[in-house]
Amino acid sequence: MTALARHVLAAGSRVIGLPLFPGSWERALREWKWSGDARRALAVPRRPRTFNEKVRFKMASDRRPIIATLSDKVETRSYVERLIGHDVLTEVYLVTDDPSELRRERFPREVAIKAAHGSGGCVLISDAAPPDAALPEPPVGWSRFLVRPEATDWGRLRRLCAEWLSRRYATWEWGYRDLIPRILAEELLHGEQGVPWDYKLFTFHGRVRLVEVDVDRYGEIRRTLYTPDWELVPVRFKYPRGPEVERPERLDEMIEIAERLAGMLDFVRVDFFALGSRVVVGELTSYPGAGASLVDPPEFDAELGSWWSQPRRYR
């Protein structure tokens, strides 16, 4: 791209969203910027082979409305409730685009507050937080924070949420590009050791093929992979490998739910929390790691990609 073109795009980006800039022009500029330059920057091959390459190809090519639906934490809830039911969801206290509505007296002592239109952008107000944890002043980007109720500065929290509401998340991840900025306040979930572990089920063509377990998401995150039969997969996937863990009692239920939610999608990762007798759907993800996750050994990236038969062109 020439220097002049880069200057025009940068100038156009600064005025996107202003009333004087017609919506059709805005969409055309965004799509033009995406279709050529972003694809080259993301190194999307014509014939993707590995899992990371296929995630990037999906980011660059898949424009089905369901991808945007599953990128929005609020709309995902509606999707899950329609297909599975309300019992696998957290309780919602508030959905808002106005940070001034976030007041201590509106919520229980412990609560999760998240940006619904991005990945990250989350504050867990929990008694399990370290005693010295505190919220920083913005800007913070799409960071995650764990803080105790008595240490929560609600004015600072509102400023963090105002920052998230003012941002668009990763425009190269198409599913997030045009989401309505909103803040979601919901029930805080508890695990045996504080923040519950994540169970992330990689679902290809309606079938779960891999289970990822994330431990200590708000500290030194570690990650372990298993087959659906709970055989250890000795691979590092983005984060250091974690400890071996026991098979969750309700894994079969999680697999059944994941496969029902996946439907006819070529790929989606369905995230769960397993809390004793309760299974909770966290989110559905189309772009794990934005297609840039370290995989060691790298041969597993190719094996994971071999489970995913992508179309030459999404329709």
Is the pLDDT at 20 greater than 80, yes or no?
Answer: no
Q: Which amino acid is at 14?
A: R
Global confidence as pTM: 0.86
Size of the chain in residues = 315
Burial 97-126 (b: 16+ CB within 10 A, else e): eebeebeeeebeebbbbbbbbbbebbbbbb
> Token pair 């992508």 is at which residue?
310
**Best CA proximity match to 130, nearest among 218, 252, 31, 229:** 218
- For residue 275, give both structure tokens: 């809390």
- Residue whose C-alpha is closest to residue 227's, from 206, 239, 212: 212
The CATH code of the domain at 65-73+80-88+193-306 is 3.30.470
Q: What percent of the chain has pLDDT over 90?
A: 80
| pLDDT mean across residues, the chain | 89
Please name which of 206, 306, 211 lies closest in space to residue 262, comparing C-alpha atoms.
206
Sign of CA dihedral 34, 35, 41, 45: positive
Instruction: Judge whether residue 13 has pLDDT over 50.
Output: no
Report the C-alpha gap between 48 and 44 in whole angstroms: 7
Residue 112 phi, psi (nearest 5): -110, 130
Cis check: omega of the bond before 297, within 30 degrees of 0? yes
* Interatomic CA distance for residues 17 and 99, integer angstroms: 21
Measured CA to CA, the distance from residue 46 to residue 54 in angstroms comes to: 10
* Amino acid making up residue 129: A
Closest CA to 60 of 235, 275, 242, 310: 310
- Range(s) of the chain covered by CATH 3.30.470: 65-73+80-88+193-306
pLDDT tens-place string over residues 156-214: 999 999 999 999 997 789 999 999 999 999 999 998 778 899 999 999 999 999 999 99
Cβ atoms of 244 and 258 closer than 8 Å: no
Question: What pLDDT does residue 19 have?
Answer: 35
> Tokens 């619904």 belong to which residue?
116
- Give me the mean pLDDT over the 73-100 stretch: 98
